[in-house]
A and B are shown apart, each in its own frame.
Chain A
């Protein structure tokens, strides 16, 4: 079988890890396909650049801002000079560009497996009420605001504490009005409008990673509960769970919205009530957990994208433990030098 060259972004395996290394590692573990991994990096310090047993070649990328032309040009340069058959983007900020240019990339022989722009926008934090309603789970009481007056009114209606969230990234639990106003301004400055103000709900943090085909069916799902998190709220240990209400809701999400591509659905579960918190339109940083319990979603994505055989959706066992750990590597400074001067390693 032809060797496939797969581009993977989010190779920043740091304390707030990107999903790329877990995705790349999963692809390497599928003995039925031969892959080379191209790491797409935005900073010369991204650890994935130096993890040559997982990432075969790394390229520095321009930010996917503005029209995205420079970004696409860089991808075509990689295609021409090294080869690039498929890309699995793993960072939220890249997705609009990849979705916008998916057909152009395909025309140049670079495949993706992504949701459409309408689906991408639908899972935005300001549209979650529609999704929660259709998949029969709850949404914490939510107000969408675009002014400080609106924020104050929302706080009055929801009562403190409240969550104040940016429309794409970041969320803060606010115990006072002053705190909420301060975070409101920070979020507007960083991510723009609108701002989401939400009731605080308590319960267990459970997440699902899944992969939709785009026709209403799934290529696999794994549900987990976070057992411990870092100061940044990132999972450090977790356990697989089979919360039927949550898994049924996720299957409905794929069916109703005909989701195509990977996603992570974040929930808070309190007894029999499941609250929808967020939907991320990409693999989460803990994706290797699913691979470790027998559901290799990145590999299933690539197989599907290339019309290769995909085994029936396997089941997984509840009660499998995920433990993240730290590791160090020592390498020559020349790799860092190449990343900075040439923009590619090795």
Chain B
């Protein structure tokens, strides 16, 4: 998670990678996932937290989290 911890993230979800100069915008949910991963939380913890905050089933939260992880991986962030 070293690369994730280096990201500069604004409260509005604007993310800047100081190593590559890339920037992107994440939704509030994406922001919560990134912050959870940066804090070292497990996928289960993060998915459960999403179900507590949003109207989403645990199964869907886990699937969306796996998709989001795929995006972070494709960006070289995890």
Contact A269 B20 (CB under 8 A): yes
Do B21 and A241 touch (CB < 8 A)? yes
Given contacts A271-B76, A318-B8, whether A243 and B16 have CB atoms under 8 Å apart is no
A239 to B8, CA, bound (A): 14
Q: Quick check: B19 and A241 within 8 Å, CB to CB?
A: yes
Report whether A242 and B20 are in contact in the complex, using a CB–CB cutoff of 8 Å. Answer: no
Q: Are A242 and B19 in contact (CB under 8 A)?
A: yes
In the bound complex, do residue B20 and residue A243 qualify as a contact, i.e. CB atoms below 8 Å apart? Answer: yes
Chain B residues, Cβ within 8 Å of A224: 21
Mark interface residues in A99-111 (1 if CB within 8 Å of B CB, else 0).
0000000000000
- Residue numbers in B under 8 Å from A206 (CB-CB): 21
Measured between beta carbons, the chain A residues less than 8 angstroms from B76 are 271
Within the complex, the shortest CB–CB distance from B4 to chain A, in Å, comes to 16
Residues of B within 8 A of A269 (CB): 20
Q: What 1/0 flags go to B26-67 for Cβ under 8 Å of A?
A: 000000000000000000000000000000000000000000
Chain B nearest CB: distance from A317 CB in Å?
9
Q: Are B18 and A318 interface neighbours, CB within 8 A?
A: yes
Q: A271-B76, A318-B8, A319-B8 are in contact. Are A225 and B16 (CB under 8 A)?
A: no
Does A81 belong to the interface (CB within 8 Å)?
A: no
Q: Which A residues touch B16, using CB under 8 A?
A: 239, 318-319
CB distance from A97 to the nearest CB of B (A): 36
Q: Does A227 contact B (CB under 8 A)?
A: yes
Q: Tell me, in angstroms, the Cα distance from A239 to B16 when the chains sit together.
A: 10
What is the bound-complex CA distance between A204 and B21, given in angstroms?
9
- Known contacts A271-B76, A319-B8; A239/B19 CB under 8 A: no
Interface of B is mostly: loop
Q: Are A204 and B20 in contact (CB under 8 A)?
A: yes
Q: Verify B18–A319 contact, CB threshold 8 A.
A: yes
Query: For residue B23, which residues in chain A have a CB less than 8 angstroms away from its CB?
Result: 239, 319
The chain B residue with its CB closest to the CB of A319 is B16
Tell me if A244 is interfacial: C-beta within 8 Å of chain B.
yes
Q: Bound complex: CA of A166 vs CA of B21, how far in Å? A: 30
How distant is B7 from chain A, measured CB to nearest CB, in Å? 10
Which chain B positions have C-beta within 8 A of A318? 8, 16, 18, 21
B20 touches A244 (CB 8 A): no
Cα A319 to Cα B21 in complex, Å, equals: 7
Kindly list chain B residues whose C-beta atoms are within 8 Å of the C-beta of A244: 19
The residue on A at minimum CB distance from B14 is: A319
What residues of chain A lie closer than 8 Å to B8, measured between beta carbons?
A: 318-319
How distant is the Cα of A177 from the Cα of B20 in the complex, in angstroms? 34
Q: In angstroms, how far is the closest chain B Cβ from the Cβ of A322?
A: 11
Interface centre among B19, B20, B23, B76 (most CB of A within 10 A): B19
CB closest chain-A residue, reference B8 = A319
In the bound complex, CA of A241 to CA of B17 (Å): 8
Given contacts A227-B21, A241-B21, 10 further A-B contacts (CB under 8 A): A224-B21, A225-B20, A241-B19, A242-B19, A243-B20, A244-B19, A318-B18, A319-B8, A319-B18, A319-B23
Chain B residues in the interface with A (C-beta under 8 A): 8, 16, 18-21, 23, 76
